[in-house]
Amino acid sequence: MDKHIITMLGEKDHGKSTLIGSMLIATGAATEHRINEAKKYSKGGRFEPGYILDSFEEERAQEMTIDTTRAELVYKDNLFEFIDVPGHLELIKNMMSGASHGEIAILMVSMKKDEGLQPQTKRHVYIANMLGIKGLIVAINKMDMVSYDKKAFDRVKEDISKYLKAIGFTKPVSYVPVSAYDSQNLIKSSDKMKWYTGMPLIEELALFTASRKAGGPRKGLRAIVQDVVDHEGKEMVFCLLNSGTIKVGQSIKLEPIAATAKVQEIYLKGKKADSAGAGTNIAIVVSSKARAKRGFIVCGADERPLSTKEFESITFFIKPVNKGSEFEIKINNNAVPIKIEQVAELISPVTGASKPGSAKIPSGSAARIRVKLGESYPVERFSDYNELGRFALYSKGKFCGIGIVV
């Protein structure tokens, strides 16, 4: 069975939790106990499927999801894990964390009057695009509010299409009209929207994820060191293998110190193995004291990540910052001090428009910046190795943005 991570994006009250709750019920993934709990906390006799996800009384009181919530359901040969992330600006940090792990996103846009495509919704899409989301399904929700009218659906679809074009979104996109509360067009085709000739939402998901199975081009060995322990006088290095393969007898190099060693043993799930592939957690015993540390990068002996003291980035800021400001980035389990040397371009996530950089970067904006590191560290372009080209930005210990190396 294939597992796929689906990130839910969109404004609060546009129906993310309701959609997931309805799908859990329709596929039998929600237990009777959880359904009864949701009914218990629903108000005014109106059952709220979204309460299946909201486990904390504080969330029910505020009628918003205050943290990233995960839910799983099985459909045919797929295990879908939905990440329901907050839609309001105050909790955008959590939304970023959720989006960064998604392969496909569902964007919820409400048809209700005065909701539609909101600025915060656009920021969600911009960030998801920046973080490398591989496909987007736009669930145009609350179709019951417009009597399932095709013309109303087409108007919203056109607005979203124009925005995606403005920000350079080139991944596959599909538009599905739904009523999450009434479970219309979620698992089976709706008899109230016979004008819609596409597939229901769950089938669109299955199609999108199937198209991702082929994967991208093969890349070199890249692993991030998690821990190092002594093993009979040698180093046992625990790694998350992000890309490529590693084999017993292979020569490797550790950056940023360019130390070389030979792999003598590989442990996979606690057992010896001859090799390991991308996506696995492994332990390797190396032939020499390579002086590996947490946050180091393992690569092939004939490969070299970009070990540098400066790089260019596109960064999204949740707080206003100034050119020359000093920060700390957390990248690959390491904390590295940086300074913004240049603001080359300011980018609006809401319109996609850009303008020349200035000394100040407003809150809620993106910018193409050049940064100088306090020490040499190996980084990769995000387009080449996602995990090694993505970082979180902190100022005096407080989270203030997220960026990618370009």
Q: What is the pLDDT of residue 12?
A: 78
pLDDT of residue 86: 64
Q: What is the C-alpha separation between 311 and 307, in angstroms, rounded?
A: 10
The token duo for 164 is 């995606």
What's the longest Cα–Cα distance across the chain? 73
Lookup result for tokens 């240049």: 342
Domain 2-212 -> CATH class: alpha beta
Torsion 300-303-309-313 (CA) sign:
negative
Q: Which one-letter DSSP state was computed for residue 310?
A: E
Burial 70-89 (b: 16+ CB within 10 A, else e): ebebebeebebebbbbbbee
> Shortest CA distance to 167 belongs to which of 351, 367, 11, 316?
351
pLDDT recorded at residue 199: 96
Q: What is the pLDDT along the chain (406 residues), one digit of tens a residue?
A: 778 888 888 887 888 889 999 999 988 888 888 888 788 777 766 788 888 876 444 444 555 444 557 788 999 888 998 887 665 444 455 555 555 556 789 999 999 988 888 888 898 899 888 888 889 999 999 999 999 999 999 999 999 999 999 999 999 999 999 999 999 999 999 999 999 999 999 999 999 887 665 444 457 999 999 999 988 888 999 999 989 999 999 999 999 888 999 999 999 988 999 999 988 999 999 988 878 999 899 999 988 777 889 999 999 998 899 999 899 999 887 899 999 999 999 999 999 999 999 899 999 899 999 999 998 888 899 888 887 888 989 998 888 888 999 9
- Per-residue model confidence (pLDDT) at position 285: 96
Domain with CATH 3.40.50.300 in the chain: 2-212
pLDDT at position 60, please?
46
Q: Is 344 exposed, middle or buried (0-12, 13-18, 19+ CB in 10 A)?
A: middle
Q: pTM value?
A: 0.81
CB 199 within 8 Å of CB 186: no
Query: 73 pairs with which residues across the strands?
Result: 80
What pLDDT shows up at residue 65? Answer: 47
Sequence-separated (6 or more) residues with CB below 8 Å from residue 252? 221, 246, 260, 261, 262, 263, 284, 286, 298, 299, 300, 301
All CATH 2.40.30.10 domain ranges in the chain, comma separated: 222-300, 306-405
Within 8 A by CB and 6+ apart from 236, the residues are: 228, 229, 230, 283, 284, 285
Given the candidates 2.40.50.140, 2.40.30.10, 3.30.428.10, 3.40.50.620, the CATH classification of the domain at 222-300 is: 2.40.30.10
Which ranges in 44-146 belong to alpha helices (H)?
A: 57-62, 92-99, 119-130
DSSP line for 126-152: HHHHHTT---EEEEEE-GGGGTT-HHH
Which CATH number fits the domain 306-405, given the four candidates 3.30.750.210, 3.40.190.10, 2.40.30.10, 3.30.720.200? 2.40.30.10
Res 52: pLDDT: 81
b/e burial code for range 321-333 (CB count within 10 A of at least 16 → b)? bebeeebbbebbe
Q: Is 354 exposed, middle or buried (0-12, 13-18, 19+ CB in 10 A)?
A: middle
